[in-house]
């Protein structure tokens, strides 16, 4: 929503009117609005803060990023409130300025101590901390926790920044978008809405670079694994084939098929265990280098290591058993020759 044509009172009246109408729509669970979309392409806006009792280092940057939000925003995005309270309709220009901070804000600026009631200066005013929320992803899914804070929209309004309405619904997101545009047109003389999309689509757009890099890395990894499998199969096949004469002698002396298969598998097991030991150790050491690029999965995920080890074991077994089975079908006299 482009709010540049509204002053603070007009924007507040429009947003509250639109919110009330949206909440009456079938399937709508929650409605709120803010000036920033988390996990979007941009990083949002920041404010130069001064924290009561905190002396920053000479080179420390106190320009911290924030979101200006309406009541219900945290609950709609399911950001857990750990201490204090959420914003409500009384947090307006006529009441004392307040803010909500995340856990990293408290850890970094207050040493992890009790933060409720502490004072923070911004916009030329002192704000009281009324709540602490859990750390959440703001810019990227793979980011580390960073200090972040929230300010009520009715206390700090800037018309130069567009507002984003959030609608959580049990129905279709397309239908919710149509209803949002229609109700916005009814609530204002000049419709300020210019775009509607699902939050998942917005996040997917910002992750395009990460997805492309992941696809390229997956392709390169698949090629590398295929080349390694071909090489491993060739080496093991050659090693077993070199023992064709030995296999012929063993068969001539009365060795059974099970004995020959056990011989081939013993050799394969030796190579397999040595390779898996070196591979798992190297993978664990290199996992730290890519841990920052991962999300929703750990760099030490046991399922990944188990799958890789299982595939390598199947390749080694196949590379050993197939040549051994071929050698068992050879006449011992020919094998000895």
Q: Nearest to residue 306, comparing CAs of 285, 330, 279?
A: 279
CA distance 279 to 305: 10
Q: Is the dihedral of CA 118, 130, 154, 159 positive or negative?
A: positive
Q: What are the tens digits of pLDDT across the range 135-169?
A: 998 888 778 899 999 999 989 887 767 788 899 98
> What per-residue confidence (pLDDT) applies to 146?
92
Mean pLDDT on 215-235: 83
How far is residue 282's CA from residue 292's CA, in Å, rounded to a whole number? 18
- Answer for the pair 44, 146: CB distance below 8 angstroms, yes or no: no
81's enclosing H/E stretch is: strand 81-84
The per-residue DSSP string of 205-268 comes to: HHTHHHHHHHHHHHHHHHHHHHHHHHHHHHHHHHHHHTTHHHHHHHHHTT--HHHHHHHHHHHH
Mean pLDDT of 255-276: 74
DSSP 96-143: --EEEEEHHHHHHHHTTS--TT-EEEETTEEEEEEEEE----SS-TTP
- Distance, in Å, from the CA atom of 266 to the CA atom of 264, rounded to the nearest integer, reads 5
Q: Which has the minimum average pLDDT: 99-113, 129-143, 311-325?
A: 311-325
Could you report the per-residue pLDDT of 11-43, keeping only the tens digit for each? Answer: 788 888 888 888 888 888 999 999 888 888 777
Question: Does 324 have pLDDT greater than 60?
Answer: yes
Residues 181 and 191: beta-carbon distance below 8 Å: yes
C-alpha to C-alpha distance for 270 and 283, rounded to whole angstroms = 20
* 264/261 Cα distance (integer angstroms): 5
The confidence score (pLDDT) of residue 297 equals: 65
pLDDT higher than 60, residue 2 = no
Statement: residue 61 has pLDDT above 60: yes
Dihedral-angle region of residue 312 (phi above 0 means left; psi in -120 to 50 means alpha; beta otherwise): alpha
3-state DSSP call for residue 68?
strand
* Mean per-residue pLDDT, 174-201: 73
This prediction's pTM: 0.71
Predicted local distance difference test score (pLDDT) of residue 190: 55
Burial of 310 (0-12, 13-18, 19+ CB in 10 A): exposed
Spacing of C-alpha 228 from chain mean position: 30
């Amino acid at each position: 929503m482009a709010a540049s044509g509204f002053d603070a009172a007009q924007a507040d009246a429009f947003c509250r009117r639109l919110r009330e109408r949206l909440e009456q729509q079938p399937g709508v669970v929650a409605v709120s609005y803010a000036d920033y979309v988390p996990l979007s392409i941009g990083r949002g806006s920041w404010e130069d803060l001064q924290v009561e009792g905190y002396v920053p280092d000479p080179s420390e940057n106190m320009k911290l990023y924030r979101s200006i939000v309406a009541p219900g925003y945290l609950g709609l995005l399911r950001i857990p409130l750990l201490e204090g309270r959420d914003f409500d309709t009384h947090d307006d220009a006529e009441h004392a300025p307040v803010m909500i901070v995340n856990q990293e804000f408290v850890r970094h600026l207050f040493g992890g101590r009790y933060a409720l009631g502490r004072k923070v200066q911004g916009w030329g005013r002192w704000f009281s901390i009324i709540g602490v929320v859990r750390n959440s992803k703001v810019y990227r899914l793979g980011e580390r926790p960073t200090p972040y804070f929230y300010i009520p929209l009715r206390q700090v309004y800037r018309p130069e920044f567009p507002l984003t309405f959030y609608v959580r619904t049990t129905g279709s997101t397309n239908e919710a978008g149509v209803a949002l545009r229609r109700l916005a047109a009814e609530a204002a003389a000049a419709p300020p809405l210019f775009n509607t999309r699902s939050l998942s689509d917005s996040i997917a757009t910002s992750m395009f670079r990460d997805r492309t890099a992941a696809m390229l890395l997956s392709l390169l990894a698949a090629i590398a694994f295929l080349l390694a499998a071909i090489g491993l199969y060739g080496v093991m096949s050659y090693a077993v084939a070199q023992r064709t004469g030995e296999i012929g002698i063993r068969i001539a002396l009365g060795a059974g098929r099970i004995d020959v298969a056990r011989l081939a598998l013993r050799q394969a097991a030796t190579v397999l265990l040595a390779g898996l030991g070196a591979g798992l150790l190297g993978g664990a050491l290199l996992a730290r280098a890519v841990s920052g690029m991962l999300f929703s999965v750990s760099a030490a995920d046991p399922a990944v290591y188990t799958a890789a080890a299982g595939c390598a074991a199947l390749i080694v077994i196949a590379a050993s058993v197939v040549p051994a089975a071929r050698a068992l079908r050879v006449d011992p006299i020919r094998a000895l020759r």
